Structure 1
Amino acid sequence: MEEPNKCFSLPVLGRYCVTQAPPTVYYVPEFISEAEEQALLKQVYSAPKCKWTQLSGRRLQNWGGLPHPKGMLAEKLPEWLETYTEKISLLSAFGGRHANHVLVNEYKPGEGIMPHEDGPLYFPTVTTISLGSQVLLDFYQPVCRDSEVTTPQTEESRYLLSLLVEPRSLLILQDEMYTRYLHGIQEMTDDTMTECVANLNSTKARLGHILPRSTRISLTIRHVPKVVNAALLLGRKK
């Protein structure tokens, strides 16, 4: 696979901070080259059929192990993913820790995912490389549990902002944007650029543009702190 075309460090990332969003969002357009994008897509679709899991609204591949409260039974990442887990880890995105888990999600036009949070099994940072198509990632206030709140808490009323995630870009979410707000993708076939797109000025799109979606692959790269070593487990069973 072609070597990554850029080398970033954490201080350099500062200029990619999306200041129109709560802390903290970094959006890096063209983080990888078109050749890297095509090579990654080839690897994704060359994976064994058994690696795919079909879910409602998308299908995915899980690499690195299955996160679990008792610890993830770690599996070695393939070389084509290690190249990018290493590149992102060098940004100190995970506080000096190394990325050890990757979810590969496939979204076809009209597919999406309900607003959700990633939960406590991961280090509180999520990084995503996008391939193939743009998408709007929407953010929402969590549902208020205060019994005095009587108005309906719909997705529309809890909507906060959107981020346009372009092909070959890197998105990093930390702090409140990871721990407080929910994120999701609407089941749409195109994305309309409005004033609510917080990083619009950092993209190729402009206000009012309507961008048709094609099939998008996302590489969600994270660090799972609690890991169980397979060799140690096998040793205990002897």
Structure 2
Amino acid sequence: MNQDGGENELCSLSPYIISNIPPIIYYIPNFISEDDELYLLKKIYEAPKPKWTELLNRRLQNWGGIPHEKGMIPDTIPQWLQIYCAMVEKLGIFKNCKPNHILINEYLPGQGIMPHTDGPLYYPTVANITLKSHAVLEWYRPIGGENTSDSSLNTKVPETSLEARNFARILMERRSLLIVREDMYSKYLHGICEIKTDIIDDKVVNLSMCEGRQIGDKLNRDARVSLTIRNVPKVMKNNFLFGRRR
């Protein structure tokens, strides 16, 4: 997608809406160029080792501050990340807010993340840029709750097993942008399975937007790096947290 042009209004994103799922997810293939991808990966891997946080199933970098219910203490976002925040901001998805938080995750083949929602600390929209390798994002109904009877999902009773609650998959290709808003952000859970090969099936709801892909394809994962770009509305105006100066 051209970063120099385009309208700021959300109507400009209408060609990228994924249909046949609750509102609303946009999928934009080739949002950044190959040169952008190489540049970002170079900068990410040049970060000093202490910037990485090691988790059991992945490692990550946090930029912009640590979100907290009492308010995020803002931290500097480097210029090399601000460039891509600005590209996302121009789409108008955060309305009058600016992206102020970026989480960079690295997933090795076989690594993933359990089903979850992003929670109330963030503005209810998230944008994700995928680098280096694809991923398949799984979507799940929660256990119980009124949205288990959503007619668009063709279900009438609560289901407890994870497999039964899985109603959609989204293939996130290299250099693509995924935007999640509204019900898909607040009501439904998303996760990435801990497998090394993804098999494309009829649950992949954006298959028609992925050139050259078809049902039955087997896609081997490489190490994937993702940029999760969000807005944290509640930001502290000074360096105090719990009454202590940081």
TM-score by length of 1: 0.91
Shift of residue 7 of structure 1?
3.6
Query: Which structure 2 residues correspond to residues 208-223 of structure 1 after superposition, within 5 A?
Result: 208-223=216-231
Deviation string, structure 1 residues 170-218 (Cα, Å, up to 9, x no partner): 0000011100000000001111111100000000211111111000000
Counterpart in the other structure of 1:163:
170
Query: Which structure 2 residues correspond to residues 12-27 of structure 1 after superposition, within 5 A?
Result: 12-27=12-27
TM-score by length of 2: 0.88
**Closer/same/farther in 2, CA of residues 196 and 230 from structure 1, 3 Å limit:** same
Bigger drift between 209-218 and 8-17 goes to: 8-17
Q: Secondary structure at the match of 2:80?
A: helix
In the alignment of these two chains, the number of paired residues is 230
Counterpart in the other structure of 2:184:
177
In the alignment, structure 1 residue 202 sits paired with structure 2 residue 209: yes
Q: CA RMSD in A?
A: 2.1
Q: Which runs of 5+ in 1 are unaligned?
A: none
Shift of residue 8 of structure 1?
3.6
In the alignment, structure 1 residue 30 sits paired with structure 2 residue 38: no
In structure 2, C-alpha distance between the alignment counterparts of 1:101 and 1:51, rounded to whole Å: 15
Q: Which runs of 5+ in 2 are unaligned?
A: 147-156
Amino acid at match of 2:49: K
In structure 2, C-alpha distance between the alignment counterparts of 1:115 and 1:130, rounded to whole Å: 18
In structure 1, C-alpha distance between the alignment counterparts of 2:4 and 2:24, rounded to whole Å: 22
One of 208, 222, 226 as aligned partner of 2:234: 226
In the alignment, structure 1 residue 67 sits paired with structure 2 residue 67: yes
Counterpart in the other structure of 2:125:
125
In structure 2, C-alpha distance between the alignment counterparts of 1:121 and 1:151, rounded to whole Å: 28
Amino acid at match of 1:23: P
Deviation string, structure 1 residues 152-174 (Cα, Å, up to 9, x no partner): 71111111100000000000000
**Closer/same/farther in 2, CA of residues 220 and 8 from structure 1, 3 Å limit:** farther
Contact kept in structure 2, 1:29 and 1:202, CA below 8 Å = yes
**Closer/same/farther in 2, CA of residues 203 and 75 from structure 1, 3 Å limit:** same
Amino acid at match of 1:75: D
**Closer/same/farther in 2, CA of residues 155 and 34 from structure 1, 3 Å limit:** same
In structure 2, C-alpha distance between the alignment counterparts of 1:50 and 1:171, rounded to whole Å: 29
Q: Secondary structure at the match of 1:230?
A: coil
Shift of residue 120 of structure 1?
0.1
Contact kept in structure 2, 1:89 and 1:96, CA below 8 Å = no
